Structure 1
Amino acid sequence: MGIAMTILVFIFVLGTMIIIHEFGHFAVAKLLKIRVETFSVGFGPRLFGFRRGDTDYRVSIIPLGGYVKMKGENVDEQLTGAPDEFLSRPKWQRFSVAIAGPGLNILTALIIPAVAAMISFQVPAYVVQPVVVGSVVPGSPAAQLGLQPGDRIVDFRGVRDPLWQDVELKITANPNQQIPIVVERNGTRLSMTLVPAGHRADGEIIGDAGIIPEFPKDYVEVNAVTEGSPAQAAGLRRGDKIVTFNGHEVPNFPWLSSAIQYNGERPATLTILRDGQKLELTTTPRIDPDGKARIGFSPVWRNIPMQKSRKSLIEAIKYSVAKNYELIVITKDVFAQILARERSVRDSLAGPIGIAKVSGQAAERGWESLFALMGFLSLNLGIFNLLPIPVLDGGVIFMLLIEAVLGLFGLPFTMALREKMNQVGLVILLLIMGFVIYNDVSKYILPSDQSPPQTQQIQPANK
């Protein structure tokens, strides 16, 4: 997808999330008859808009957020005590206005997957099946642990009889973290500790264990070879069928792609089938700017079996709640790893450039992926705004709590104290914004770390 289209998709995604968030504040304020002076998508000088009643609806020049300005909500205003001023209202009403924005974002995150599941619930068939190992990538954590095709994972970090959808996301989110598993093999259960390797992809560090599901077994046929790539230099051609990689039989493309990643920038041997004859080629994968090891060809795609169904309303709600809860748990795990200095902040956070990139990639995959991303971003936007940082919604709620506690002791929550807290909150927010933007620029525009993928050495807990 081109840069212009990526920007348009980014504006649509971010703009929609902002409008939903601010509409929550706006709707509750209007319902409580608090005067809303401005509804802005974006910050800074006004670009265009219109006025209706007491409210100026506008689009502002910096498209990285938005705000609803209510009468009498800022301490530097001339407060008169009029009933339509925000600070004149009871605490429960101010709380209701503050919670409405992130609340509507979280509600949106629940609605999107629920509606999608009721319209057309389509997933690869394997993700709703038990975790039976189809193949193991050489050199991967799974290979070093001794996992074998046919092994079934019956316990994954305390989850009994997990499905592939329970396991894949947790592996991705936990690079270099110990994960206790129980494997069933020929009627015997073995306790092991799996440590996913950390691989760089699209500027992020993601976990990978080298476990491939039971995909249909087929040769990987070359559809096209990239100009100037290692594959072209090795003599790979369209129509070639890749039979082995470094002496290991190639069962499918996901296995081969993962094997190339673990091989890194070391010479590799391919056995190919061309016109009924087997040939051996030697190539050295190259680490691309996105951090992935590639040899430079695209395969003839074999469709992965899909499962299609429509869920009932109750099933869709349960599914949506479960998916969002899983995302919250994984987000918590990521931040716990950051605080424990087990994961780099740089490799874990994405700002506007990162969001624009994944928005474009999601749009290329189709509307289902794009709306799934919007649901994920809406959930994160809602949770972020609940942080107790003054100037965020959570900060407003935090100050209401302070006001209530001081009131129990007959002490006032002065305008001066409120103003100082808002100033501190603004500085914190600006520092966060500055960091994520700098982080984005260093990762996506001026990348400096393109080291080959690393594999974590591991040992079984029990043999």
Structure 2
Amino acid sequence: MILLIIIGVLLFCLSILIHEAGHFFTAKACKIRVDEFSIGMGPRLAHVHKGDTDYSLRALPIGGFCAMPGEDGQDENGNPCVDPHAFCNKPKWQRFLVLIMGGLMNILLGLVLMAILLGQETAFASTTISKFSSHSATQSAGLQVGDHFTSINGYKVRTDKDLMFALALANPNSVEIQVKRAGKAITLSNVKLNTATASNGKQTTQLDFYVQPIKKTPLTLLQKTFTDTVSVVRQVWASLAGLVTGRFGLNDVTGPVGLVQVISESASAGLQQSFLSAVNNIIYIIMIITVNLGIINLLPIPALDGGKILFLIIEAIRRNPLNPKYAAAIESAFFAALMIFMVIVAVSDVMRISTGHGLGG
């Protein structure tokens, strides 16, 4: 078990490493000097200096950074930065590439991890019903063999992962299902699903149908890798929307502390089958995390890559950068809020692990 947790932590660090590597190598290609390349935040544990860059390992595995001169338009003394290798003195398109490549590399890593998982399968799941189990509630509601799912409660279904995600979020006592049958769109309203009671007392949806397999070929593997990764991206956005609207609470958010528990639980479940199943469970979790990291970092929030891209777009529209003092103040405020949020999530994780309930109840 300890080995599996170490594998999980290393894979998590890999997602941070590849994110910062996206920034680093793009900056180097654009001849931007990188003063420090760090994995982790907080106190420095070890470092080595090579060329113009300090390569650091820091204590807190909650992120990393590439420190480039002139990121805020100023030098270390607060004066306008005149260094030709400074970030602020490069063309806007180069700065844009440097900023966006971190998130894109995370999504690329997600594609690779997804391909590793799918490559082990003998066939892929579709969204077309092949048969029903006995006493099927969905069959009684009107679904038929050959029906192709297109929507669950308004959530578009393009892959089996979309189908599982939408059904997991749905109220099992009343679900609206849209399918395509013989080329025609069919809508079934107020469908009641079979459920079972989990150990925590919550009701979980029980699928009572099977779907047709998709033959595994190099082409279908490539297609499935892309569509399933897009499905994870959509789930990220749907989850973020749920946080904003209040559908999900703080208890549904997991930070680095809770990640260890998630990896441990997934590894334990996988070990009931085999060591490979445990590793695959961890890979799947890290795949979701790295896609999350890529997407969230590209949101237009100051202190994140997306916020810096937003400032860059504003600079392009105004044809003049924002006042460095104002930009720095905005980023500092959002960074402080982000750190406070991460502390709250960490406390909630600890409470959930020790008592079974986080701050969200």
TM bracket (short chain): 0.7 to 0.9
Instruction: Output the TM-score relative to the length of structure 1.
Output: 0.63
Q: Confirm whether residue 193 of structure 1 aligns to residue 105 of structure 2.
A: no
Alignment-derived partner of residue 64 in structure 1? 62
Alignment-derived partner of residue 51 in structure 1? 49
Alignment-derived partner of residue 429 in structure 1? 338
Q: Confirm whether residue 317 of structure 1 aligns to residue 222 of structure 2.
A: yes
Alignment-derived partner of residue 20 in structure 1? 18
The higher radius of gyration belongs to 1
The number of residues matched between the two structures is: 340
Q: Does the C-alpha gap of structure 1 residues 84 and 166 become closer, same or farther in structure 2, counting only changes over 3 Å?
A: closer
Alignment-derived partner of residue 404 in structure 1? 316
Q: Confirm whether residue 154 of structure 1 aligns to residue 142 of structure 2.
A: no
Correspondences of 1:40-189 after superposition (within 5 Å): 40-74=38-72, 75=74, 77-78=76-77, 79=79, 80-117=81-118, 119-122=119-122, 130=129, 132-136=131-135, 142=137, 146-147=140-141, 152=145, 154=147, 156=149, 158=151, 167-175=163-171, 179-181=175-177
For residues 288 and 19 of structure 2, the distance between their equivalents in structure 1, rounded to whole angstroms, comes to 14
What's the offset of the Cα at 1:382? 0.2
Alignment-derived partner of residue 303 in structure 2? 391
Q: Confirm whether residue 9 of structure 1 aligns to residue 10 of structure 2.
A: no
Alignment-derived partner of residue 301 in structure 1? none
Correspondences of 1:293-312 after superposition (within 5 Å): 310-312=216-218
For residues 430 and 106 of structure 1, the distance between their equivalents in structure 2, rounded to whole angstroms, comes to 24
Structure 2, unmatched stretches of 5+, are: 181-185, 271-276
Instruction: Decide whether the 8 Å contact of 1:175 with 1:197 is kept in 2.
Output: no
Aligned-pair identity (%): 27
Residue from 418, 429, 440 that aligns with 2:327: 418
Aligned with 1:158: secondary structure? Answer: strand
Indicate the RMSD between aligned Cα atoms, in angstroms.
3.8
Aligned with 1:63: secondary structure? Answer: strand
Q: Confirm whether residue 335 of structure 1 aligns to residue 240 of structure 2.
A: yes
1:307-350 residue CA offsets vs partner (Å, 9 max, x unmatched): 897531x3322111211222222333333344443x23234321
What's the offset of the Cα at 1:5? 4.1
More helix by share: 2
Q: Confirm whether residue 350 of structure 1 aligns to residue 254 of structure 2.
A: yes
1:249-306 residue CA offsets vs partner (Å, 9 max, x unmatched): xxxxxxxxxxxxxxxxxxxxxxxxxxxxxxxxxxxxxxxxxxxxxxxxxxxxxxxxxx
For residues 104 and 159 of structure 2, the distance between their equivalents in structure 1, rounded to whole angstroms, comes to 31
Residue from 259, 264, 278 that aligns with 1:360: 264
Structure 1, unmatched stretches of 5+, are: 216-306, 450-463
For residues 357 and 415 of structure 1, the distance between their equivalents in structure 2, rounded to whole angstroms, comes to 41
Q: Does the C-alpha gap of structure 1 residues 11 and 209 become closer, same or farther in structure 2, counting only changes over 3 Å?
A: closer
Whichever residue aligns with residue 343 of structure 2, its letter is G
Aligned with 1:366: secondary structure? Answer: helix
What's the offset of the Cα at 1:416? 1.2
1:109-159 residue CA offsets vs partner (Å, 9 max, x unmatched): 122223544x43346x8767625330358xxxx48x9559x9548254538
Residue from 354, 357, 371 that aligns with 2:283: 371
What's the offset of the Cα at 1:161? 10
What's the offset of the Cα at 1:351? 1.2
Instruction: Decide whether the 8 Å contact of 2:8 with 2:282 is kept in 1.
Output: no
